Amino acid sequence: MPESPSFIIHWFRRDLRVSDNSSLLAASHKGEKVVPLYVASDWKKAHAWTGPGRQQFLCECLESLAGNLAKLGGRLIIRSGDPVEAIVRLLDEGSVSEVHYNRDPDPHGRKDELRLAEICEARGVACVGHDDVALHTFDQTTKDDGTAYRVYTPYSKRWLKLEKRKPASTPKQLATPDQIASDPLPTLENWQLNLPSHLDLLSGSEAAARSRLKDAIAKRLPSYAQNRDHPSVPATSRLSQDLRWGTISIRKAYAEAHKAHEEARDPDVRASYHTFIKELAWRDFYLHLLEAYPEVLQHEFNADYRGLPWAEPDEKFEAWKEGHTGFPIVDAGMRELRTTGFMHNRVRMIVAMFLTKDLHLDWRLGEQHFAQHLLDGEIASNNGGWQWSAGTGADAAPYFRIQNPWTQSKRFDAKGEYIKKWVPELDAVPAKALHEAPDLVSGHGKSYPQPIVNHAQERDKTLSIFKKHLDTV
Ligand code: FAD
């Protein structure tokens, strides 16, 4: 009978890296063997809420994580199903003194943590949650009276003033007991998914994330303040999927941007790094809101807008999803999303406002579609971004400030470079016509549809729907 091993568990969740990982590092410092565990969602079931691109990115991250752990002497243990049940089964496979994990502010993650804590307590196992996912914890960033902020600007002022934790080191070595068996690394087949041939995805790994950060600091972010709203200019970091899956830590991203800010001589470049840092605060802000107001996942953040009469999804919703609305900037964004699992932030706002204010469709439909396709799909930022655009969220544009997709594309894609990249049938259309003359667009682009709605009319309709609703609350 082989001797039952003793070990500590580190439970990987949205922290798929060995460097600057608060929980993994703490587990490795105990001088015991460590079981680095990842519990994949149940692979006997088809995957409903997210699509193949995102799962492919996850599979790549896990493969690279397994390699990085092996370099330290450890072994990634893969299991699938309910994570708490998987951990409980692991507790039965040896003598376990401690379970470590990085806390997840989303309500589903927190529910798992509470269940796990109860089970560990009953078994006399220490259950240790670490603060890792945000740069600042909820408690550090509340108002003076201890309540949560509801508005970004005062939140960010507080956030910016706080001293930032420095990135921590990588464990020097790890040993995982031989007796603990692992399932093979997951592939898309585990969830009955296929990778469509049109997908063109970024690769997922710690090394890829580090290289994207380096590239961002050196080449993309120096003009961030001037160019970040122009989707054809590579001026944003492209780090969102890495921050989502934790292939890079938020502390590392902040530390590199802060260093670049301190070293920059040109005031514009310096301002750019600062603007970028303030965007990292938006990420923390939405995590903060979700922790304080988990009901936003079901309801409008601003209670006045609950019960708005959204339209029933019809063929126009399909046209939006496929990028066939006849609004070039909207179609370019939706096709970028479908092909790459990414969409530029400015365009996310345009397509989201189009869905909610031009098609009068429920922001939850858009939120679900984004979650299916985005590699960076993250419930706090996705919900925050959708509610902001619908006018129902924190810091949202008031409902009567409705972006006009034609003027937005003229402002932010004046030469039509982004549009033509993603909507090649408009290649021959003069840039001016792409933003001003829907009939011209249709005339030039042979297979390109007429605009499916008249923006001016739909704008008036939205104003009247919102106003009527507000009169009743
Ligand atoms: P950069 O401009 O380089 O910003 C750096 C980082 O800051 C980002 O990687 C991200 O972590 C954070 N950040 C930047 N802008 C925002 C923002 N407005 N809100 C929250 N965090 C921000 N972001 C996600 O990570 N996941 C989502 O699911 C998501 N859904 C969105 C849905 C809508 C409708 C909208 C309008 C925005 C959404 N965003 C989401 C925010 C934003 O669009 C992306 O974070 C950004 O486009 C990612 O590109 P980047 O890494 O090059 O960003």
- Give the helix, strand, coil percentages of the chain, each rounded to 5: 55, 5, 40
Which CA distances in Å does 415 have to 232, 335, 427, 449? 9, 19, 11, 21
Nearest CA-CA partner of 467 in 325, 309, 318:
309
Handedness of CA 61, 63, 68, 73 (dihedral sign): positive
* The predicted structure's pLDDT at residue 399: 86
Are the C-beta atoms of 286 and 384 separated by less than 8 Å?
yes
CA distance 42 to 320: 31
Cβ–ligand 1 distance for 367 under 6 Å, the answer no
Q: How far is the CA of 392 from the centre of ligand 1 (A)?
A: 18
| Single-letter amino acid code for the residue at 52 | P
Catalytic residue among 245, 320, 386, 388: 386
Q: Would you say 320 is a known binding-site residue?
A: no
Q: Would you say 462 is a known binding-site residue?
A: no
CA distance 407 to 427: 20
Cβ–ligand 1 distance for 243 under 6 Å, the answer yes
List the chain residues with pLDDT less than 50.
Answer: none
Are the C-beta atoms of 68 and 168 separated by less than 8 Å?
no
Nearest CA-CA partner of 66 in 16, 10, 11:
16
Chain segment 21-62, per-residue pLDDT in tens: 999 999 999 989 999 999 999 877 766 778 999 999 999 999
Nearest CA-CA partner of 37 in 6, 5, 83, 82:
83
Cβ–ligand 1 distance for 238 under 6 Å, the answer yes
First-residue to last-residue Cα distance in the chain: 70
Are the C-beta atoms of 62 and 56 separated by less than 8 Å?
no
Cβ–ligand 1 distance for 245 under 6 Å, the answer no
Residue of 283, 350, 353, 412 to test ligand 1 pocket, by largest number of atoms within 8 Å of CB: 283
Q: What is the pTM of this model?
A: 0.97
Nearest CA-CA partner of 358 in 231, 230, 465, 469:
465
* The predicted structure's pLDDT at residue 400: 87
Q: Would you say 273 is a known binding-site residue?
A: no
What ipTM was reported for this prediction?
0.99
Q: How far is the CA of 69 from the centre of ligand 1 (A)?
A: 29
* The predicted structure's pLDDT at residue 24: 98
Cβ–ligand 1 distance for 280 under 6 Å, the answer yes
363 classed as catalytic? yes
Q: How far is the CA of 376 from the centre of ligand 1 (A)?
A: 8
Q: How far is the CA of 195 from the centre of ligand 1 (A)?
A: 24
| Single-letter amino acid code for the residue at 464 | S
Q: Would you say 211 is a known binding-site residue?
A: no
- φ, ψ dihedrals at 130, nearest 5°: -115, 150
11 classed as catalytic? no
Catalytic residue among 32, 93, 302, 310: 310
**What DSSP letter does each residue of 289-356 carry, written as one string?**
HHHH-GGGGTS-SSGGGTT--PBPP-HHHHHHHHT-SS-HHHHHHHHHHHHHS---HHHHHHHHHIII
* The predicted structure's pLDDT at residue 444: 61
Q: Would you say 203 is a known binding-site residue?
A: no
* The predicted structure's pLDDT at residue 445: 54
Q: Would you say 411 is a known binding-site residue?
A: no
Beta strand 34-40 pairing with 126-130: unpaired
Q: What interhelical angle do 363-373 and 328-340 show, nearest 10? A: 40
Give burial (CB, 10 Å; 0-12/13-18/19+) of 182.
Answer: middle
Handedness of CA 98, 16, 290, 313 (dihedral sign): negative
Cβ–ligand 1 distance for 377 under 6 Å, the answer yes
Give burial (CB, 10 Å; 0-12/13-18/19+) of 200.
Answer: exposed
Residue of 230, 374, 381 to test ligand 1 pocket, by largest number of atoms within 8 Å of CB: 381
Q: How far is the CA of 118 from the centre of ligand 1 (A)?
A: 35
98 classed as catalytic? no
Are the C-beta atoms of 248 and 105 separated by less than 8 Å?
no
